[in-house]
Amino acid sequence: MTSYHLDHLQYLETEAIHVMREVAAEFERPALLFSGGKDSICLLRLAEKAFRPSDIPMPFLNVETGHEFPELLEFRDRRAKELGAKLIVRTVDEAIKKGTAHPAPGEISRNKLQIPVLLGAIEEFRFDCAIGGARRDEEKARAKERFFSFRDAFGQWDPKNQRPEIWNLYNARLNSGENMRVFPLSNWTEMDVWEYIKKEQLEVPNIYFSHERECFRRGGQWLPVPPKHTDPTKPDPFAGGRPKPNEPVKKLVVRVRTIADMISTGMIESKVYSVDDIITEIAAARVTERGSRADDKVSEAAMEDRKKAGYF
Amino acid sequence: MPHSQHPIELLRFNTCGSVDDGKSTLIGRLLYDSKNLMEDQLEALERSADITGGGQINLANLTDGLRAEREQGITIDVAYRYIATPKRKFIVADTPGHVQYTRNMVTGASTANLSIVLVDARLGVIEQTRRHSYIAALLGIPHIVFAVNKMDLVDWSEARFIEIRDAIEDFLPKLDAFKDVKFIPISALNGDNVVDASPHTPWYGGPTLLNHLETVHIASDWNLSAFRFPVQWVNRPNNPTNKELHDFRGLSGQLAGGTVKVGQKIMVLPSGLKSTIKEIWTYDGKLPEAFSPQSVTLVLEHDLDISRGDMIIGLENLPGMSSDLQARICWMHQRPLQRGNKYFLKHGSQTVQAIVAGLDSRINIQDYEAEIAPPELAMNGIGEIRLKTSKPLIYDGYKTNRLTGSFILIEQGTNQTVGAGMLLPPLEAVKPEYNDFAI
C-alpha cells in the first residue's frame, strides 16, 4: 500500500456503497429498481459490493411500459436470476386493464403511465424505499435531487421543500404512507458509469453496441421499427409507434446511448463494438445522452413536471 | 469530455455569493470554456434566450434548472454540476446567496474541499461575504477562493482589487480556519481568468480559477490519524449452502477516520470490549489494510455483541463518549430552536433522542461577536448549544474529524431536518470500563 488516496471512481463507489447500506439498515421494506439499463447494472454491482457475502436484502422491481426492447427484458430476467434476487414486474398494460392508469387520448408514449404503476407497486408491496439509478448530470431538474429524496403520501416530489442533506448524514425517517427514493449514483456522470462498467467488466445488453436495425425518422431522431404485430385478436401495443407511409424505413448501423422504451429511444448512428469504443465515443460526443430522449423534449420543464407527479 | 487512463482525483467545491454576484454565470462559464457543454444544452440555452433574454445567451440559465427559478430569476436550491478536465473531475455545489437560503449553503459546503466566495468588485465586502466566509470556516472547508467578479465594471482596477483583498484579510484571522486562501480577479460574464488568463490583468500573476482548482493540494483533506469505524450494517449471510460462510459475521461500514490493519487490536464502544481484526473483507477480496473513506466489512477474532450504532476504534487517540455535548449549530427551519426542545439526533450510524439543555450564544454574522444566552435561534441562525442525549455519543471535535464530529437534528413528528451540528472537542477521552480482551 503506497498511498491512502482514492481515485474518482473509488470515491464514487464508496459513497454509493455507504448509501446502499444506509438503506438496508434504515428501511423495513426497500426495493431496488432494475431495468437492465446501464445505470441499474452499476447499481447491482454496488449492491453486491455493499452486501456480499449476504444476499442482496431487497427485491428488484421493474415497471414495464409494454414497449420494451426484447433484448433488455431477456437481460433483466437473466441477471436477476444469476444474482439470486427476487424480481417483481408490474406493467402499464395491467394497470390500464385494472383502471389505475389512464392513457391520454392520442398519446403514444407510456412514459407518464409508469407513474401510477410504480406508485401502485409501492402500495401493493408496502415498499418504504425504492433505490433508483438516476444521476444528477442527466437533466437540470435532477441536478437538484437529493440522495434520499422524500416523497409524500401521494408519491410527489416537492423541490421547494426538500430536506437539507448535510455531510453523509441521510435523514431516512418517514411517517406511514410516505416513502423515499434513494439515488446512490447521484454524483456519477455518464462517463463515470461507463468507466465503472469497464473497470468491473460488467455485462451490458447488446443494444448498447452497434448493430443493424430498421429505423425511421421522426421528430429529428431515428426511432426503431417495433417488432411485428402477430396476434390479431389483441390491439397492437405499438399502435402509433410504427412508421407512417411518409416515414420511410431505413436499415442502419445504430446503437442506443440511453434506454427508455422503443417508442421514446432515439437510436444513434455509430460503430462501436466494445466498452472501450463507447468510452471513446462519449469522450468525443457533442450532445448529452438525454439529447436522444423524446420524452424530455416536450417542454423545457418536462422532467420537473414528471418528477413532481411521482416519476423516479 | 476528456478521458484519461491515469488515476484522476475528485475535487468537490461550492460557490457562494449574494444575489446577482454571478454565481450561476460563473459555473456556466466554467462549463462552457472547459468544453463541458454539449450542443443540445447550447440549443436549449438559445431557445430560452429567444424567449426571455431578448436574444442574448444567458449562461445562468444552464444552472437555474427549475421553472420556478427561471420565472423568478433566482436559484432556490442546491444544484450539483459535474466538470471534467484532463487533470481532475469536479463536483460543483451551486449554492444560492439569498439570506433565507443559508441552509442550502451549509448543505453544499458540508462535503466540499473548497469554497469559492464571489465578491462583486463594485460592492466590495458586504454582509453576505462575511457570512459565506464564516460558514465555510465553520464547516471546516480547508481551501477558500475569493473570486472578485465583475472586474470589467471597475475598469480592471488593481487598486480596487487590493482594497477588497485587504478588507477580507482584515477579518480572516478571526475565522482561524483555512489551509490556503486565494484571491482571483475575474469577469465571469466575459470569461476573464476563469479558464483562460485575462489580457486585462497584467498586474495579476496568479493562476486562473480553473488552474487553481486543478492543482490545489487535496490529498491530505481526509483524517487519517485516528481509526473510527461506525458500524452501519451487520453482515450475517443467511445462506447455509455455503458452509464456509456459515459462521460469517461481518461488520459493514465506511471508515470515518484513520486506517486499520489485519491483526490490529481494536475496541468497540460503548461496550469497551476489545478484540483483534481478523479480516478486512470486500467483494473484491480481502485487504491487508483499509483507510478512510473506504467502505469495507470487518471480521473480528471474537464473536462480540455488536450492532448498528456502535463504533469500532483503535486503542490510541481515543474519542470522547458522553451524553452531555456542546456544539455549534446552524438552524434550518422556520420553527426556532429553543431551550427544552426535543429532537432526534443522527450522528454517524446512530440515531438518539436529544434535548436542548442550553442555548449559550448566537453569533452575529456581521462582526462575528457572540450574543450571550439569546432566547432562541431562528432560521439561518448560528449559535452554540448544549445537548443532553438519551444515549452517549462516541465522537470527536468537528475540527479534528468532520464525520465523527457532525450531527443533524430531526424534528419529531414532521421528520424535517432542522439543524446541522458541529461538536466541540470532548472535555475528556473515553475511559472504558473493561480492559480485558473479550473471551
pLDDT along chain B (439 residues), means of 10: 64 86 82 78 67 55 58 64 92 74 83 95 91 91 96 97 97 90 95 95 97 92 92 88 82 97 97 96 96 97 96 96 97 95 98 98 87 93 96 96 97 95 95 59
Evaluate whether B340 touches B388 at the Cβ level (below 8 Å).
no
Write down the pLDDT at residue B73: 52
Query: From the CA of A1, how many Å to the nearest CA of chain B?
Result: 8
Q: Which candidate from B80, B417, B420 shows the least CB-CB separation from A143?
A: B80
Domains of chain B with CATH codes: 9-215 (3.40.50.300), 228-314 (2.40.30.10), 320-423 (2.40.30.10)
Position A128 pLDDT exceeds 60: yes
Q: Is there a contact between B420 and A50 if contact means CB atoms under 8 Å apart? A: no
Evaluate whether B410 touches B418 at the Cβ level (below 8 Å).
yes
Interval A262-284: pLDDT, tens: 888 889 999 999 999 999 998 88
Q: Is there a contact between A286 and B39 if contact means CB atoms under 8 Å apart? A: yes
Write down the pLDDT at residue A307: 62
| Residue pairs spanning A and B at CB distance below 8 A | 189
Q: Is there a contact between B65 and A143 if contact means CB atoms under 8 Å apart? A: yes
Distance CA B336, CA A117 (A): 40
Write down the pLDDT at residue B305: 94
> What does pLDDT average to over chain A?
90
Write down the pLDDT at residue B40: 75
Query: From the CA of A57, how many Å to the nearest CA of chain B?
Result: 10
Q: Is there a contact between A288 and B41 if contact means CB atoms under 8 Å apart? A: yes
Q: List chain A domain ranges.
A: 8-202+301-308, 206-296
Q: Which candidate from A166, A287, A300 shows the least CB-CB separation from B110?
A: A166
Write down the pLDDT at residue B97: 60
Rg (CA), chain B: 24
Q: Which candidate from B2, B402, B410 shows the least CB-CB separation from A173?
A: B410
Write down the pLDDT at residue B4: 44
Beta pairing class for B342-347 and B289-291: unpaired
**Could you tell me what percent of chain A has a pLDDT over 90?**
65
Mean pLDDT value across residues A222-226: 93
Q: Is there a contact between A53 and B308 if contact means CB atoms under 8 Å apart? A: no
Q: Which candidate from B10, B291, B295 shows the least CB-CB separation from A18?
A: B295
Instruction: Give the residue from B58, B85, B214, B232 with the most A CB atoms within 10 Å of its CB, the best one to mutate.
Output: B232
Mean pLDDT value across residues A185-214: 96
Q: Which candidate from A7, A14, A286 shows the least CB-CB separation from B294?
A: A14
| Position A222 confidence tier, pLDDT thresholds 50, 70, 90 | very high
Distance CA A84, CA A115 (A): 27
Query: From the CA of A61, how many Å to the nearest CA of chain B?
Result: 22
Evaluate whether A272 touches A206 at the Cβ level (below 8 Å).
no
Q: Cell triple for residue B3?
A: 478521458
Instruction: Give the residue from A13, A144, A304 with the most B CB atoms within 10 Å of its CB, the best one to mutate.
Output: A144
B86 burial class (0-12, 13-18, 19+ CB within 10 angstroms)? exposed
Nearest CA in chain B to A186: B80
Position A161 pLDDT exceeds 80: no
Distance CA B325, CA A77 (A): 51
Evaluate whether B33 touches B194 at the Cβ level (below 8 Å).
yes
CATH 3.40.50.620 fits A8-202+301-308, yes or no: yes
A chain contacts of residue B346, beta-carbon cutoff 8 Å:
169, 171
In angstroms, the Cα distances linking B242 to A232, B140, B297 are 50, 47, 18
